[in-house]
Amino acid sequence: MNFQEENWLNLFGYCTEEGTTWHALTTVYSPELEVMRTYKFTRKFTSNADRSIIAHQNTYYLPDGTVNEKSWTIEKQSCNLSDGVCHPEGQKMRAIGFGNQTSIWVSKNIDDESNLGSEVFLKHDNWRYGLLTIYKNGNLDRFVIIKENTQNFPDTVAENTITNLEGKWHLERTKVQPNLEYFTETFSHQEIDINSSVAINTNFFLPEKVLINLPKVVPIDQAFEITVGQQTGENLYRQIKIQYDSTGQLSGLISEVYTLEN
């Protein structure tokens, strides 16, 4: 199996020559979950005929009326690497698609200034959420919720937080190694425990039924895990776990899709 090829298709297999535009409402939150700012933008992805070249264009509509554009070209020949897709905007980050409508753009390691970031993508029909966690100088700096639709801009962010994940769930778990090798396993009659057993981690309950579990400070010389999840309706909960080893290197990714059993 060619894991690089499969990863590329997981990320860009939907792209067409006509292009797909995501209309995004972006909300930035402090670590205390206070709204810092909001703005709208679009991100458009267009491919050539064989999807070997992806054109990515963002257009930002800022609160002061300013409109800014940024564009990149993602070439399969140079960007599709053995540890994920390298986007020109972030050479030290990699994009990985799990093939189950979840994907991630994530730091390969903690940099010299203890900066770290990720954007988890959770897609459902014409909707997609980009859920960002960002550390600066080793400290949790902010969360970002990007609510997107392929038709038009979302009007609001739903203030609902997760209150109930009780019941028995069917679980599909996909584990991905740093070299993109993966395996998927399924389980029945599972319970979801949102109370982390990791002492250094804290739960953050955000709007749009987003739950993020992570340390407030990047641990030194210690392995750690960041979990980003979201409940969709009453019957679907998805989360991605990001694992770093004690040297600060990305050591693994886990995508979990829970479906409520009848």
19-36 per-residue burial string, b: 16 or more CB within 10 A, e: under 16 = eebbbbbbbbbeeeeeee
Portion of the chain with pLDDT greater than 70, in percent: 99
- Type and span of the H or E element at 10: helix 3-12
pLDDT value at residue 202? 95
CB within 8 Å of 118: residues ≥ 6 apart: 104, 105, 106, 107, 132, 133, 226, 228, 242
- At residue 140, the pLDDT reads 97
| 54 CB neighbour count, 10 Å cutoff | 21
Structure pTM? 0.96
Signed CA dihedral, 225, 204, 138, 25: sign only: positive
Bigger pLDDT: 6 vs 194: 6
CA 209 to each of CA 26, 45, 131, 163: distance values in angstroms, whole numbers, following the listed order: 15, 27, 11, 8
Q: Are 211 and 235 in contact (CB under 8 A)?
A: no
pLDDT at 173: 97
Residue type, 236: L
What is the rounded average pLDDT for all residues in the chain?
95
pLDDT at position 1, please?
63
Q: What per-residue confidence (pLDDT) applies to 112?
A: 82
What are the tens digits of pLDDT across the range 238-253? 999 999 999 999 999 9
Q: What is the pLDDT of residues 13-31, one digit of tens each?
A: 999 999 999 999 999 999 9
List phi, psi (to 5°) of 44: -115, 135
Which amino acid makes up residue 66? T
CB-based contacts of 232, cutoff 8 Å, min separation 6: 122, 124, 209, 238
Structural domains in the chain plus CATH codes = 3-12+20-151+158-260 (2.40.128.20)
When pLDDT is cut at 50, 70 and 90, the band that residue 197 belongs to is low
